[in-house]
Amino acid sequence: MRKFESLDQVTFDKSTGLVPAIIQDAQTSKVLMLGYMNEASIERTLSTQKVTFFSRSKQRLWTKGETSKNYLNLVSISVDCDQDALLIKVNPEGPTCHKGDDTCWNEDNKTGASFLDYLSDVIRERKTQSPENSYTARMFEKGINKLAQKVGEEAVELVIEAKDDNAELFKNEAADLIFHFLMLLEAKNFTLEDIIKILKERHK
């Protein structure tokens, strides 16, 4: 998979001028729909940051959500190895299918644990941002010892809340612990997949 940089990377069908585009939720990795694009629809997608297709039935460009307001907000475009298919990652607004379903295969598009992979990518990106503008960047700037200490503090706070009956405080402390744990993994150059691999081996 290669990141899209220019139209020269794409091999459009010679008879139709179209290329298939698989639409995937950037946060859940769920496949939402399949559409077709031409050069003009790709250019409009890039300029508006909302996914636009070429309608084969109406023979015109159409932006997903132009009627329903259920837009597909662009995150990234990648080109496959043969350069004749696109993978477009999006943040959807509402259901994707015109029938009101989350996906065109009538599947639930739940965030679930796959959101942690997305969050890990966000943490990796913000690691190099300006500390003045990013809490994550400031934490990385303080070094591994501070990060490790922060994880310890969040773990203690979670244990304290576990002894009480305030569900919202407990869930928020759990979220804080997971977020800082992901930052610590990034600081140690490990990924969540490295930890999952160990868990899978223990599960055998």
In this structure, what token pair is assigned to residue 188?
Answer: 């140690």
CATH of 2-92, one of 3.90.1170.50, 3.10.20.810, 3.30.70.100, 1.10.600.10: 3.10.20.810
Work out the angle at residue 89's Cα, subtended by the Cα atoms of residues 91 and 103, and round it to the nearest 5 degrees.
70
- The two tokens of residue 192 are 């969540």
Classify domain 114-203 by CATH architecture: Orthogonal Bundle (1.10)
Q: Which residues of the chain are in CATH 3.10.20.810 domains?
A: 2-92
> Angle 47-50-51 (CA atoms, 0-180°, nearest 5)?
105
Q: Please state, in angstroms and rounded to a whole number, the distance separating the CA atoms of residues 120 and 191.
A: 8
Q: Could you give phi then psi for residue 190, rounded to 5 degrees?
A: -115, 160
**pLDDT score for 141:** 94
Mean pLDDT of the chain: 94
Query: Token digits for 167?
Result: 């569900």
Residues spanned by CATH 1.10.287.1080 within the chain? 114-203
Predicted confidence (pLDDT) at residue 1 exceeds the cutoff of 70: no
Q: Whole-angstrom Cα distance, residue 151 to residue 157?
A: 10
What is the tens place of the pLDDT at every residue in 76-128?
Answer: 999 999 999 999 999 999 999 999 999 999 999 987 777 898 899 999 999 98
- DSSP H or E segment with residue 75: strand 72-79
Q: How much is the pLDDT for 110? A: 81
Query: Where does residue 4 fall: left (phi above 0), alpha (psi -120 to 50 degrees), or beta otherwise?
Result: beta
Q: CA 50, 51, 52, 56: dihedral to nearest 10 degrees?
A: -160
Question: Residue 179 gets which letter from DSSP?
Answer: H
Structure token pair of residue 164 = 């009480």
Contact status, residue 41 vs residue 54, Cβ threshold 8 Å: yes
Average pLDDT over residues 7-30: 95
What does the alpha-carbon distance between residue 39 and residue 45 come to, in Å, rounded to a whole number?
Answer: 10
For the segment 120-149, what is each residue's pLDDT rounded down to a tens digit?
999 999 998 888 889 999 999 999 999 999
Position 74, amino acid:
L
pLDDT at residue 8 in the model:
93
**In the predicted model, what is the mean pLDDT of residues 178-182?**
97
Stated pTM of the model: 0.70
Q: What whole-number distance in Å separates Cα of residue 80 and Cα of residue 62?
A: 23
